[in-house]
Amino acid sequence: MWVYEKKLLYPVEVTTCNPMLARYLMEQYGGADGELAAALRYMNQRYTVPDKVIGLLTDISTEEFSHLEMLATMIYKLTKDATPEQLEKAGLGAHFVNHGHSLFYENAGGVPFTATYIQSKGDPIADLYEDIAAEEKARATYQWLIDISDDPGINDALRFLRERENIHSLRFREAVELLKDERDRKKVF
């Protein structure tokens, strides 16, 4: 189904060790409105939508996994040279004790990822509206991360991710209109 190209979707440059920023980025890595939840949500929903939008959900889900890879790269680069003391000061002491410098799917508050973040109603239009909301929440979170970050390389990658969320939202809106037109079309038997 996939062809993996051994490069990031967009380059990630990090100028300095910053465990606090890494902690904030974890919200998009393993939080309720983050990239993992989105990728799994769309991949799951693709099985109960009309054929016209299966490809869209598959494409966007796949791209969300590439966003997850970018976030993992950012978090790793921001923490790889951090001392245990720096990690503890950033609120990542418990994470370090449990995982060392390894990444773990959790939000900025340290709450582990859970499948309850994945929404799927089984109604294609309802699911697509949920997907639009997910993309808009991710867009907002990326903006807030940009606002709090002073790392130009991270901000460049975050701006890229924010803009991709805008595109995904627009694509889901187009899919809703397509399905609504089909639903409302008179059927003659």
pLDDT band at 33 (very low <50, low <70, confident <90, very high): very high
Residue 77 has pLDDT above 90, yes or no: yes
Task: Note the CATH architecture for domain 19-180.
Answer: Up-down Bundle (1.20)
101 annotated binding-site participant? no
What pLDDT is recorded for position 184? 78
**Contact by Cβ (8 Å): 134, 37:** yes
pLDDT band at 1 (very low <50, low <70, confident <90, very high): low
pLDDT band at 3 (very low <50, low <70, confident <90, very high): confident
Torsion sign over Cα 57, 63, 69, 73: negative
**Burial letters for 59-87: b for 16+ Cβ neighbours within 10 Å, e otherwise?**
ebbebbbbbbbbbbbbbebbbeebeeebb
Q: Which of 10, 139, 131 is nearest to 69 (CA)?
A: 10
43 vs 38: CA distance, rounded Å: 8
Residue 186 has pLDDT above 80, yes or no: no
64 annotated binding-site participant? yes
Residue 29 has pLDDT above 80, yes or no: yes
136 annotated binding-site participant? no
Residue 171 has pLDDT above 70, yes or no: yes
User: Residue 150: helix, strand or coil by DSSP?
Assistant: coil
| pTM of the entire predicted model | 0.93
Q: Report, as an integer, the average pLDDT of 74-98.
A: 95
Number of residues written out for the chain? 189
Report the mean per-residue pLDDT for the chain: 94
Q: Which of 55, 53, 73, 54 is nearest to 6 (CA)?
A: 73
What pLDDT is recorded for position 124? 95
13 annotated binding-site participant? no
Query: Residue 3 corresponds to which tokens in the numbers above?
Result: 């062809």
Torsion sign over Cα 3, 67, 157, 73: negative
Residues forming beta bridges with residue 112, ordered by sequence position: 106
67 annotated binding-site participant? yes
DSSP string, 40-64: HHHHHHGGGS-HHHHHHHHHHHHHH
**pLDDT tens digits along 116-164:** 999 889 999 999 999 999 999 999 999 999 999 999 999 999 999 999 9
pLDDT band at 183 (very low <50, low <70, confident <90, very high): confident
What pLDDT is recorded for position 5? 83
What pLDDT is recorded for position 177? 95
- Residues of the chain with pLDDT > 70, as a percent, come to 97
